[in-house]
Amino acid sequence: MKAPGHIIFLGAPGVGKGTQAKIIAQRLLLPHVSTGDMLRASVTSGSEVGRRAHAVMESGALVGDDIILGIIAERLAHNDASGGVIFDGFPRTLVQAEGLDRLLDSAGKLGIKHVLHIVLADEEIISRLSGRRVCEKCGAIYHVNFHPSIREGLCDRCGGELRQRDDDRPEVLRRRLAVYKSETAPLVSYYLSKPGYAEIEGSGDTAAVSARIAAILGLEG
């Protein structure tokens, strides 16, 4: 990446945003900012935000823009965000995209350098999400067939227990996909006309998708 700036991972549930955002965050030594992970942490801690978000997330709908923009404004104020962050699952509505532009639109703040839109067919999304397992301790992402842990049910990295996410149940999954199409897909036309937008084919294994992303970011290999 030639000049610093924020990177946005855009795409439907299950396309691999989290998997790829973690890899890029490690390579570029930038913070991985996943609103989904932050909300799940708030639910676990029982905070006010968590109490407000819990039922909404379980239903597959989107948490309110005001809550999300509040979380992001707070996160961007941390020192470690000054060189850019990797956004995963944010923004997700036009109100959030415009809110982010306002947050970044002041002197001395970095802008958005890349918007990486990962695309994948619905059947593949469903097969990826129905087999996903997540470490309850460190958040590492696995798949029972495509990326199994060495010891069944246990995280390779920290030994934590692997769980299925509550919102990966089939009925919630269908709602999340529908919500993506109605609320988040319109963001593609918002970013299409701006510099840095790229569509990435999400099929193939994790390494193949990472290589496509690395090529767009100008990274070696």
176 annotated active-site: yes
102 annotated active-site: no
Phi and psi at 188, nearest 5°, equal -60, -45
Compute the least distance from the CB of residue 146 to Mg ion, in Å. Answer: 15
Q: Which of 17, 128, 133, 212 is catalytic?
A: 17
Residue partners of 170: CB distance under 8 A and separation at least 6:
130
Q: Which of 27, 165, 169, 175 is catalytic?
A: 165
Element (H, E) at 32: strand 32-34
Q: Which does 139 bind (CB under 5 to 8 A by kind): Mg ion, ligand AP5, none?
A: none
How many other C-beta atoms can be found within 10 angstroms of the C-beta atom of residue 46?
Answer: 9
Residue partners of 123: CB distance under 8 A and separation at least 6:
none
169 annotated active-site: no
Q: Which does 119 bind (CB under 5 to 8 A by kind): ligand AP5, Mg ion, none?
A: none
Neighbouring-strand partners of residue 117: 10, 199
163 annotated active-site: no
Residue nearest to Mg ion (CB): 18
Q: Assess contact for 8 and 87: CB atoms under 8 A.
A: yes
How many other C-beta atoms can be found within 10 angstroms of the C-beta atom of residue 146?
Answer: 13
Q: Which of 40, 128, 133, 176 is catalytic?
A: 176
Compute the least distance from the CB of residue 128 to Mg ion, in Å. Answer: 11
Compute the least distance from the CB of residue 137 to Mg ion, in Å. Answer: 17
Say whether residue 18 binds Mg ion (CB under 5 A): yes
Q: Which residue has the tokens 């955002």?
A: 21
Cα–Cα distance measured from residue 183 to residue 32, given in angstroms and rounded to the nearest whole number: 23
Say whether residue 16 binds Mg ion (CB under 5 A): no
Q: Which of 92, 128, 133, 212 is catalytic?
A: 92
Q: Which does 35 bind (CB under 5 to 8 A by kind): ligand AP5, Mg ion, none?
A: ligand AP5
Most distant CA pair in the chain, distance: 50
Residues that bind ligand AP5 (CB under 6 A): 11, 13-19, 35-36, 39, 56-57, 60, 62-63, 68, 89-90, 92, 96, 128-129, 131-132, 141-143, 146-147, 167, 176, 204-206, 209
Give the pair of three-digit tokens for residue 220. 């070696």
Which residues contact Mg ion (rule: CB under 5 A)? 18
Active site residues: 17, 92, 132, 165, 176
